Structure 1
Amino acid sequence: MKATGAFLLFSLALCCYQGNAEMDGAADKETEAACGDYYLRNSCTKIFDPVCGTDNVLYSNECMLCFQNLQRNANVRIKNRGMCQKASPRSDSTQN
């Protein structure tokens, strides 16, 4: 009985470890934002689902990244979902 419990616990830990390894590896890949999914001429949702752009700027969600691309005629891609690792150049208080 103890051996079965230990085996199940080990199997569960191994599954969780493999899942995290894949997530970390995928975080290094840039992806194109799905801008076609949003009606950018109207407005974006206010739901906070942060994405970090390849310009190291934190956008509140993917729609806002697409909206800024449209406004600036740029092609910023999604560096990773979640917070940026480096400070955003626009959040620097020395630049006014």
Structure 2
Amino acid sequence: MTQADKTGAPTTVQAEDGHYTISVEGKEVGKAEFSDRDGQRVFTHTEVDSDYEGRGLATILIAEALAQTRDAGLRIVAQCPMVANYVGKHDEFADVVDKA
């Protein structure tokens, strides 16, 4: 998925083995780590390069990671505080979130 950040720069979120990455203009600047178990995708850690903070990149990354998780038919477990905060504010994922 491609979406612009708060500065208007294009971003790309990609799923990779055990994590999602977000890139800005082709440079990888963040990731959301997860592990899959028993029909659940457990999000354990999310980070964005400090040089890119404040641009909404974590929100874009988490939103896309959760949407892809839901579309894959997996339940979401938010061990990562950033992911937990996001799902707490976005009811559209409430039906697929399990307690950590």
> Could you say whether these structures have the same fold, taking a TM-score greater than 0.5 normalized by the shorter chain as the test?
no
Hey, which of these two has a bigger chunk of helix by percent? 1
Which has more strand, going by share of residues? 2
Q: Structure 2 length as normaliser, TM-score?
A: 0.25
Greater gyration radius: 1
* TM-score using structure 1 length: 0.26
